[in-house]
Each structure stands twice: as C-alpha cells, then as structure tokens.
Chain A
Amino acid sequence: MRKVNILFVVIFFSVLLFIPVWSAVQPEREFIRSERRRAAAFPVLSFAGILNREVMDGVEDYARDQVVFRDGFRAWKAFALKDMLFMKENNGLYQVGDGIYRLEYPFNKEKTVRAAKKFSGIAKQYFPKADVYYSVIPDKNYFVAGENGYPEMDYGSLFSAMRENMTGMSYIDITGMLETGDYYRTDLHWKQEEITDTADFLLEAMGKDVNGTEAEDYEECVKYDSYYGSYASQSGWRVKPDMIRCLTNPVIESAVVTDYEKKAKIPVYAREVLSEDAVSMDEYDVYLSGAKALLTLENPTNPDGGELVLFRDSFGSSIAPLLLKGYSKITMIDLRYVMMEYAARMVELPEQCDVLFLYNTQILNHSDSLR
C-alpha cells in the first residue's frame, strides 16, 4: 500500500510539474486557430489592474490559452459530456449524424420585429422607387432540431412576424430550396456549390432571366478539404473536416469587387485565407474576404443588367457572386458593421434598382447586432 502511495504521489507531482513547465517552454501562442480567436495576452501589470483584479483574471485567461494540450483537453471534455454523461449538447451545440448544430431558441419576437421594422424603414427612406424583396435563410436547426428531440424556435412565428412587419416588400420563400446537406456539417453557413439553384430561384423571383445558368455552368476554382467550421471549434468534438469549394464562371472571373473600407479592389475569392499562415482564422472568409461593411460587385459582361442592393449577413458572401450574372452591379451592405446613414454617404445608391434583404434566422432572432 505504501509503495502504491509513493508511486501515486510521484506521478501526481510529475503531472503538476510537467504541465506548467511544458506549457512554459512552448512558443507562446498568438492565435488559437481551433477556436478562431486571438490567444489572451499576458496582462499589463499595474497597481490599478491589481486592485480591480484585472491582472489576476488576465493571468488566468493567459494560463488557459497557453496550457499545453489545450485542444486535447477540450476534446476530452466534449467526449466526457457526450459519451460518459450522455449529454446532448456541449457549449450549446449538438450533433445529429456527422453534422454539428447550434441550439437556437426561443423565438424572440421583439428582436425579430425590430429587424423587420428597421429593414422597412430603410426601404421606405432610401429606396422609394425600387423593387424591394426580402428572404429569410433558415438556420440548420430548421431542418433537424424538432424531429431529433431538440428544442427549436417557433419558425412559423418568426416568418409571420417578418411578413407582418416587412411592409411594402415581396417575400421570396427559399425554405423549400434548402435542406440540411446544403450547409457545412461543421459550420453554420451554406455551401456555395449547393446553393446555385437557390441563387437562380432568387434571381427569377426578382424578374431576372436565368436561362442557361444551371449549376453545370460553374467550374470549381478553389477546393479546400481541411475546413473545420466554427461549430467544430466551439464544440471541441473531433469530427471530419468539411470541404470548401468556390465556383466560377465567366461572369465571376471578370467581376470587379470594391471594398469601401479599404478603398481597394479585392478578389472574389480570397485564396490566401486557406493557407497555413493566413491572418484570418475563418476559412469561410474565402468568399469576398469575409466580414465587410460595404462592397460592390461589378459585372462588365452585363452592362445593362440593372443594379441590386443586397442587405446581407455572412451568408451573402457566398451567394452574391452567384447572383451577379443577373445584374451589372451589386452593392452589398452589412448592417452589422455599418449604419445605413453612413453607407448611403459612402456609395451611390441607385433610384431604380432591385433591393434584397437576405438574412438568416439567427441574425433576425438576435437583431441587436444590426446597427
């Protein structure tokens, strides 16, 4: 017994010694790629920081981010919750088949109505002569939550709230165009290669002739098979990576994209985010370089196609290139990063145009993010 105790004490203290020493000798992490964020920096020491405990909290955050085997520990915890304690979720995420989903409930009527009224106000003030449309992208839960016993928001009420408050606009229902396979398994977003029909459906609903623009007209120009979406990183579960595919055709190849924040031309597909030493931590940023407040996409092959003003969230980045064939120019405004008053000063908004508000249900249900 005594020998066992001696061995146990030696092993325990070896663990206590090994983990901090190995963590300390590792190069300091600047980014935690698996969680798509910058690692906490060691806090700046100050008397005020000590008194208000910011230094102490900062040291703990730093220790958590720099500890050796961090990803392994997180995966172990996720495994323990799911496979040992039989919990159905970890960090608000759950698995059905090999897909990961974020629980999204309950329906927040107040926030959804806020978003709808905001959109209606923008349409009325800035686009009185335009043809205005809106469409709602269902989050992945819409397809799987209820039938697999997970709570889901009342989607019927969300769509009703939008219909009742999006005045003066036409609704384009794309829910029938989508299914769970159209989304990445490990991420919230849809796959560009699976939404060509949705893009065509939207174009047709907005009165654009899309003859001869079947999915076969696109070619794959980027293929990346190591994509771990945000849900994979947040859950800690060990899952197979997704594949990112970017589609191109003559319209997309000749497209001219202007970033109004950088005041510069940018490519349709930012291939550099897929490289090992990419600054961006989200490979989905390959589409139009990710989060951008104001962009224009110009289509030199169709100078008489008219203009589209697309109010969008991150889902818009992958569908906008597919919509370009119907227009000579698309102006993309992300109200999460820019206020409409400012956007109207930055870009010239056409009087006669199509306007599409295209948002996913998660943004509508948490519309505080809209400025």
Chain B
Amino acid sequence: MLFSDLTFLYFFLPLVLALVFLMPAGGRNAVILAASLIFYAWGEPVYWILMAGMIFFGYGAGFALEFYSENRRMQKRILWIFAGTAAAILVFFKCTKSVAFPIGISFYIFQIISYLVDIYWKRGRIQRNFIDFAMYISMFPQLIAGPIVRYEQMEGQLKERGLSIDKIAYGIRRFAVGLAKKVILADTLAQLVEKAGAQTDMLAYYLTAIGFMMQIYYDFSGYSDMAIGLGSMMGFEFPENFNFPYVSGSVTEFWCRWHMTLGTWFRDYVYIPLGGNRVGRIRYAFNIFAVWFLTGFWHGASLPFILWGLYFGILLILEKGFRTTHIYDRIPASIKSVFGRIWTFFLVMAGFVLFRAENLAQAVERVRGLFGGAGIARVTQISLYYLRDFSGILILSFVFMTPVMRVIREKFEERAWFCALKSAVCLLLFLLSTAFTIDSSFQPFLYFRF
C-alpha cells in the first residue's frame, strides 16, 4: 500500500485514525501495531513473515543483551552476533539479485540494530513490552521509506505521548504537503526524466539530470513529510529527514541536510565507533571511505551506487582539505556563499547522474553528455519542447527547494488568518493530489527499493 493510494487515503487512514482516537491511550500501540502489520502485508504478503521474524529476533536479542548486562565482554559478543546477523540478512537481500528485495528491510533492520546498540551503550533500556517493541519496528508511517527512527528517540514516546488537536492539525497539513510533493511534483518530474532521458542532446542530459535530482528530492522528502505528518496525527514526533538540501553551500552541508536520519545513523553507529576524525590521517581517510562505501551499499549492491557513495567520500575529503588552505581563507565570504551553492548544486546533480545509472558505462555516457562531449548535439527541437512543457513544474521545483515558504510561515506563524489560509491550501492540495492519483499510472516511491 502506498500513501498515495486511494485505498490508503480513503479507507485505511480514516479507519486507523478513528480506532487510534477512540482507543484509550493504553491500547493505541496495539492498534498501530495491527494496522502496521496489515499495511505491510498488503504490500509485501510474502516477506511479511520475514519482518515478523525480525521483530521476534530483535526482541529476543534485547533480552540476551540484558542477560549478560554484568559481563561487558560477553554482551559485546552477543551484540556482534545479533547485529551482525541482522546486517547479514540485509546484505543477503541486497546482493542476491535472484531474490525479490523486501520493501523497507533497509529501514527496519537499521532500527533493530539501533535498538541493540543503544541497549549495549546504555542509551536506552530494554523494551519488555512486546507490543511496544513490535510497533517501534513496524510502525507503518515510517516503515518502508523512513525516516529511520532510532530507539533512543522513541523509547519515551512508546510509553507516553500527547495527542492534541494542534498536533493532529499539524500532522494533516504536513501529510497534505508531502502528498502534493509526491504526486504533483515528483510524479510529474518523473515524466520529464523518462522523456528527456530518451534523448541524447546536451539540453536533454541536463533536463534529465535536474529533473531526476528534483524528482528524488520531492519523492523522498514528500514521503518523509507524510511519515512525520502521520506520526504527528498519532501523537509521535519523528525526526526531520530533510532541511532544504539543495541550497547547501558545501557538500558537507548537503549531507547535514539530506536524508539526515541515515547520515546521523552512520555517523553515530559507524563513523564515531571507528574513531571519527580523532585518529591519524590514514585511519581518518579509511573511516570516511568506510562510511561512504556503506552509504552507497545501503542504496544498492551495484557499482554505480557504491561509486556514488565513494564519490561523496572523496568530495568531503577534498572539501575538508581545501578549507585548511590559505586560498580558502582569502576568498570573500559572499563569493564563497554564492559559488559554493552553485558548485555544490552541480556536484550533487552529477552525483545523482551516477545514482540513476544502471551501470558504469551509462553513468560515464551521461556525465559526458553534461559536458557536451564530441558528437553530442547541444539542443534538439524535442528537448526544447520538453523544456517549455516542463518549465512551470521546474520553476516550482526550484522555488520550493528553497526555504522561502518556511520564511513566510515563520513571519506569520502566530496569526490566526495565516493558520486558516495554510489549512485551506493544504486541504486543496490534498484534494488536488487525489485528482492526480485518480488520473495517474502507477508511480512507486523511489526509496521503496532501498
């Protein structure tokens, strides 16, 4: 089931919310768990068993860790065995092309690992209530495309969370905005990517690259908005996953704003345990590459994904090195700000060309196309038509990738008329998204495959 399906919007969602609102606080987690299992089984009727098994696995592993709580050495072994097994299952599905990839496995396995590590590090306590634990792992709003919710962030909310009209209204607005991002912007941009992607002139290469860059942002951040909105409707506060990444002034900043829950997961559970930057140069470089190799691998066990991860690893090392030079210090801040943003935008765009490629040869051909390699026409009648056809959606995409709406919102946040206006706009967006859903072919979320 997709959040943009009519069966979700007009059947599953109202039913689940009604049950959650009517149920006393003590029974809400059971309702959400049941709803989550149905939600997952609807989309993954076979791998539903796997997820159920992983829930029991994680729950049992927690008790094993607690059992050896006085023996750190043994506890460490237990952690390695269980977390390693969970990671191995993920690697198996990533690497085995002959087996269908279970939706959302990358997300729920990372949550199980975070649960075990947080217990080991004593950041969180064991969850004895099976329903609460199973709900944490399988929570349908963020189950299949994040944000990755870490156990330490959720432990308190599993027991107690407030449900208020303001939170519900905020959740609805956030959900409506996310839905519109997905079905109006991302799915329309997908058409540009598909059409321009079939052309081989320089303009088409740029349209495809920019179109895909925007599509993946609105697709994924739209999903995250919907997840955060749904969570809020049920009283949760999920972490933010995006913070206007395309206005970043550096690659380092981009990764602080893009898929933030994955970035912080790798930082806290891989990079820092490896020693972070408080090590020698060679070890530091190893740590960086290890994290970016894993980031690429997390998206897929294919060369373009891994190169995409390593590409950012190299960029980050170069960027950090450049910042320590005198040349960097002499550049005026205003120039750094403007050129940094343009440069970062271009580098990220080139990165997504790599990300989208099915193989290395295709990636090289597309990057070459961006630079107008020999034999590549600058522009054709068809790509010019695509530029005109999609200019409106591209302009909107560029406007909404900046914090302009946030600035407006913060300025008028406390005014009642503004609250009414944004609510009306969100309602219209919700209905317009319904219209797009009714008249669209199937458009799965891009991040379902990771």
Contact = CB atoms under 8 A, between A and B. Distances in A.
Interface of A: 1-9, 11-13, 15-17, 19-20, 23, 50-51, 53, 56, 59-60, 63-64, 67, 70, 73-74, 76-78, 80-81, 84-89, 91, 105-106, 149-151, 236
Given A9-B169, A86-B392, A87-B389, A1 B419 contact: yes
Given A16-B10, A20-B10, A56-B43, A8 B427 contact: yes
Give the size range of B's interface with the partner.
35 or more
Main secondary structure of the interface of B (DSSP, over half): helix
B206 to A, nearest CB: 18
B439 A63 contact: no
A76 B440 CA distance: 13
B420 interface: yes
Given A1-B416, A86-B391, A149-B388, A60 B435 contact: no
Main secondary structure of the interface of A (DSSP, over half): helix
Contacts of B173: 8
Contact of B172 (A1, A2, A8, A84): A8
Interface stretch (B1-9, B29-37, B131-139, B400-408): B1-9
Given A12-B172, A56-B43, A89-B389, A64 B438 contact: yes
A60 B392 contact: no
11 contacts: A1-B166, A4-B423, A7-B423, A8-B173, A12-B430, A56-B43, A77-B432, A84-B392, A87-B389, A87-B392, A236-B439
Shortest beta-carbon contacts, A-B, top 7: A5-B169, A86-B392, A8-B423, A73-B435, A85-B392, A77-B435, A16-B14
B393 interface: yes
A63 B7 contact: yes
Contacts of B435: 73-74, 76-77, 80
B188 interface: yes
A153 B338 CA distance: 43
A362 to B, nearest CB: 18
B416 A88 contact: no
B245 to A, nearest CB: 23
A11 B420 CA distance: 12
Most central of B1, B9, B14, B430 by chain A CB within 10 Å: B14
Contacts of A80: 184, 432, 435-436
B382 A105 contact: yes
A152 to B, nearest CB: 9
B420 A73 contact: no
Interface string B412-428: 00101001100100110
A4 to B, nearest CB: 5
Interface in B1-24: 1, 5-7, 9-11, 13-14, 17
A4 B382 contact: no
Nearest to B419: A4
A149 B391 CA distance: 14
Interface in B378-396: 381-382, 385, 388-393, 396
A150 B416 CA distance: 47
B5 A50 contact: no
Contact of B14 (A6, A20, A50): A20
A66 to B, nearest CB: 9
Contact of A15 (B166, B381, B431): B431
B396 A85 contact: yes
A85 B394 CA distance: 9
Contacts of A84: 392
Interface string B27-50: 000000000000000110110000
B168 interface: yes
A15 B430 contact: yes
A74 B438 contact: yes
Contacts of B427: 8, 11-12, 15
Contacts of B393: 85, 87
Nearest to A146: B381
Contacts of B430: 12, 15
Given A3-B416, A51-B45, A87-B188, 10 more contacts: A5-B168, A8-B423, A9-B172, A15-B427, A15-B431, A16-B9, A16-B13, A87-B390, A87-B392, A236-B439
Interface in B430-446: 430-432, 434-439
B165 interface: yes
A14 to B, nearest CB: 10
B38 to A, nearest CB: 11
